[in-house]
Structure 1
Amino acid sequence: MSPETANRGPDDAFIEELSRLKRRGASVLVVGSARASRNAETCRRLLGHAADRSRRRVLVSTTGRSAPLEPLADENPPNHHRIITHDVDVRSAGTATAPRTTGASSDVPSTTTDTLADLGVELSSAIDSFERAADGLEPSELRIGVDSLLPLLEKYGTERTFRFIHLTNGRTRTADGMIHYRFPVGREHDVAAVLTPLFDVVVELRVHNGVRQERWSLKDESLCSGWIPTTQL
């Protein structure tokens, strides 16, 4: 289910603005408690799962657990995907970036980075590669997912992570793509409040009366989907 198809869907203004964001590129912050954030289906939809056309995806793992993202790599040709694992536990910041198998199909290019700068370079390089291969990307063809902001914030702090997100969102938007980041805290969290202005959409996840729900809010806070049931626990 998505906000466009819910029985009690948002009004026409919300749908129109969300469609416009998809056409020109958008950045999405997915927040919610750790329990609610286990709802990976929301992020799979943001990555274009089961779409009626091909997607080109960059899957970024900051937690060392890329497995939940890997099934998406089977939906399109392997060269339509990149997997980047950012190793926040590397002790030497000067260690060179090197390829490493992440456990996905061996045909899917995968890289490990150990500095925030290298992560930004690898993301930009992946987008460049997709643009060259496709001779330009269609709106919303590019989808990027970052599995958690928590390790980045813990290692680099809010200011550096803020700059990284700002630059990465900008590069994604130049390709008319969509990028989302998972941040398993409540929206009222102090850091979430600091980061929210960077995003076009905030998706909140929660578990209410045993039902997982999501709520989509746009920059114009009057445009909101309301709580939408997703899946039963």
Structure 2
Amino acid sequence: MNIEQPTYSFDGLPLEAVDAGTNILVTGPALGGIRELTLRMLLRRHSREGALFLAADVDGRQTLTDYEALGGDLDFARVGVVDCTEESVDNAECNVHAVGSPGDLTGAGIEFSALYERIHANGAGHVRTGVYTLSPFLVCAPAKSVFRFVHTLTGRIRTADGLGVCAIDPGAVDDQTLTSIAQAFDGQVELREVDGERAVRVRGLADQPDGWQPVAFETA
């Protein structure tokens, strides 16, 4: 009997659904809409999906506020944040778990694993994990350590049939670092902005639109 495998869809974006266990690297300028794109790719489509954020640029509470403004459902049994910013503060009510610094990769990994398991145990059969962005980790920790962290993170997501969406600004890292990071992912979604018009292009993922596709973000 042919059993259909679960997929993750992206309503409102020019992207086709991807298989469970897929990890996507989202690249684009920090001020060009990459945050909005990343958060939209993490929007839960039904109650049995969960969402987990590793926040490094913007604190955990603000991440949840931005997510909700874009249409995210904040069911805190199935939605949570590992806050890796310097301003991180635990917030049990909002399921925010503070690490204290993007340089504490061990702490981030421990909190990620514990929160992922908790969200899954609370009924989220499939979890969307987002990292915004990878750049602070690379600033605060050795590159090789970040590479290992990313490979471990994407490996866990792949094994658990989750979805990983990690953002990075290519202008903030050198080409060699970007190439090394990209090896941990199944494909990339590139975002560009030309004359105020935004578009995305998918690389490395099957059954996706060819070339640049226009994308518009609603103003929250």
Q: Does 1:121 align with 2:100?
A: no
Cα 1:170–1:131, aligned 2, differ >3 Å: closer, same or farther? same
The alignment-based identity, stated in percent, is 22
- State the match for 1:72 in structure 2: 67
Cα 1:160–1:58, aligned 2, differ >3 Å: closer, same or farther? same
Report the Cα distance in structure 1 between the residues aligned to 2:209 and 2:110, rounded to whole angstroms.
34
Bigger Rg, which one: 1
Query: Which of 15, 19, 32 does residue 23 from structure 1 map onto?
Result: 19
- State the match for 1:217 in structure 2: 203
Cα 1:188–1:229, aligned 2, differ >3 Å: closer, same or farther? farther
Cα 1:35–1:63, aligned 2, differ >3 Å: closer, same or farther? closer
Structure 2 alignment gaps of length 5 or more: 1-11
Q: Does 1:206 align with 2:192?
A: yes
> CA RMSD for the aligned pairs?
2.9
Output aligned runs, 1:2-81, within 5 Å: 2-4=13-15, 19=17, 22-36=18-32, 38-49=33-44, 51-66=45-60, 67-72=62-67, 75-81=73-79
Q: Does 1:189 align with 2:189?
A: no
Cα 1:122–1:219, aligned 2, differ >3 Å: closer, same or farther? same
Report the Cα distance in structure 1 between the residues aligned to 2:48 and 2:36, rounded to whole angstroms.
18
Q: Which amino acid aligns with 2:184?
A: L
Query: Which of 126, 131, 148 does residue 120 from structure 2 map onto?
Result: 131
Aligned residue for 1:56, secondary structure, equals strand
1:135-188 deviation line (CA, Å, top 9, x unaligned): xx54xx301111111110011122100000000111111221111111112598
The 10-residue stretch of structure 1 (26-35 or 178-187) with the greater mean CA deviation from structure 2: 178-187
TM-score for the superposition, normalised by structure 2: 0.78
Report the Cα distance in structure 1 between the residues aligned to 2:120 and 2:30, rounded to whole angstroms.
35
Residue 113 of structure 1 deviates from its aligned partner by 0.8
The number of equivalent residue pairs is 199
TM-score for the superposition, normalised by structure 1: 0.74
- State the match for 1:93 in structure 2: none
Q: Which structure dedicates a bigger proportion of its chain to helix?
A: 1
Structure 1 alignment gaps of length 5 or more: 5-14, 91-97
Confirm or deny: 8 A CA contact 1:83 1:110 kept in the other structure: yes
After superposing on structure 2, the runs of 4+ consecutive aligned residues of structure 1 that deviate more than 3 Å are 71-74, 222-225
Confirm or deny: 8 A CA contact 1:217 1:224 kept in the other structure: no
Q: Which amino acid aligns with 1:216?
A: V
Aligned residue for 1:181, secondary structure, equals strand
Report the Cα distance in structure 1 between the residues aligned to 2:13 and 2:79, rounded to whole angstroms.
24
1:178-232 deviation line (CA, Å, top 9, x unaligned): 1111111259833211211110121111112320111111168x97631111127
Confirm or deny: 8 A CA contact 2:50 2:120 kept in the other structure: no
